[in-house]
Amino acid sequence: MSAMNPIRRTAIRAAAAFTAALVLPLRALAAWNKEAFQAKTAAEALKSLGIASSTESKDVVIDAPQIAENGAVVPIEITSNVPNTKSISIVIEKNPFPLTAKFDFAEGAVPFVKVNVKLGESSFVRVLAEAGGKFYSASKEVKVTIGGCGG
Amino acid sequence: MRGLSLLGADAETDMAEPMKIRATLKGDLCDVRVLMVHPMETGLRKDSSGAVVPAHFIQEMTVKINGKLMVDGQISQAVSRNPVFSFRLKGVKAGDKLEIAWLDSKGERSQTEAAIA
């Protein structure tokens, strides 16, 4: 049994419910992870995402051009064949803010995404797939002729 | 014709412009492709006078089928201008309601619905 004052507990619960009612309609379910997205290095971004370690896996497939003429629009297609993949995160290691996207997939959504991204310079694109509380990764280098973050 | 092309230019910068969604059903697998009209300013770019263009980019996006959340995405300013995404959803049938929404760094939002054909 909890020793907590029941009145106080009720008050806390009511306050929490009130806050949730205020905040929930304004937000998507997973709020933007400011700390992770503002991280300046891939290592910091991964730490902010709670990714302490990952295993390289051939089941994480990255389809991206080897050479991108225009860094402003680089198509990247990702498929995770790791069973029960719950999320896919994209990290562009040399970009000023490396974390580019994180997608959470509910049951019924294929752990697949295709998106156009910007590369400031040639960089490894690292993808982390989350399944069963573990992270599986793959990397692919994309060489950029004209960077996508300047003008 | 000139009037028409000016209208087109205006529409391109209008935040309220609806997304363009294409959903293709093959069996029960639905290919969803969406184009969102957004400048996706990084906050690192300078304009012609040398002034930094403030950051303004989509941060959150959701894909729902019949109100059920299927994909919950968070993105950065490194997603290209006028973002294009493709997703794949299983167990979808004709007539299902597809809803895609985004929220950007200034609190602006957009939502578009489409019926799966």
Partners of A61 on chain B (C-beta within 8 Å) are none
Segment 24-63 of chain B within 8 Å of chain A by CB? 29, 42, 44-46, 59-63
ipTM of the complex: 0.86
Segment 65-94 of chain B within 8 Å of chain A by CB? 65, 68-81, 83-91
How high is the mean pLDDT in each 10-residue block of chain A (151 residues)? 56 55 50 96 96 97 96 97 98 97 97 97 97 97 80 43
| Backbone phi and psi for residue A114, each to the nearest 5 degrees, phi listed first | -125, 130
Q: What are the pLDDT digits (tens) for B43-61?
A: 999 999 999 999 999 999 9
CB within 8 Å: A28 and B103:
yes
Q: Looking at B4-96, which runs of residues are DSSP E strands?
A: 20-26, 29-35, 58-65, 68-75, 84-89
Please give the full DSSP string across A27-83, using - where no structure is assigned.
S-SS---HHHHT-SSHHHHHHHTT----EE-TTEEEE--SEEEETT-EEEEEEE-ST
| Backbone phi and psi for residue B75, each to the nearest 5 degrees, phi listed first | -135, 165
A133 in Cβ contact with A53 (< 8 Å): no
Q: Is any Cβ of chain B less than 8 angstroms from the Cβ of A25?
A: no
Q: What is the pLDDT of residue A5?
A: 61
CA A111 – CA A14 distance, rounded (Å): 37
The whole-chain average pLDDT of chain B stands at 88
**H or E element that contains B7:** helix B2-13
Q: What angle do CA B24, A131, B71 make, to 5 degrees?
A: 35
B70 in Cβ contact with B98 (< 8 Å): no
A53 in Cβ contact with A130 (< 8 Å): no
* A-interface mutation test, from B58, B80, B84, B85, most A Cβ less than 10 A away: B80
CB within 8 Å: A100 and B75:
yes
B83 in Cβ contact with B75 (< 8 Å): yes
Looking at chain B, which residue has its C-alpha nearest residue A73? B80
- A109 vs B60, B70, B78: nearest CB: B70
Q: What are the pLDDT digits (tens) for A107-144?
A: 999 999 999 999 999 999 999 999 999 999 999 999 99
A117 in Cβ contact with A76 (< 8 Å): yes
- B80 vs A105, A106, A117: nearest CB: A117
Segment 105-144 of chain A within 8 Å of chain B by CB? 105-106, 108-110, 112-119
CA B16 – CA B35 distance, rounded (Å): 13
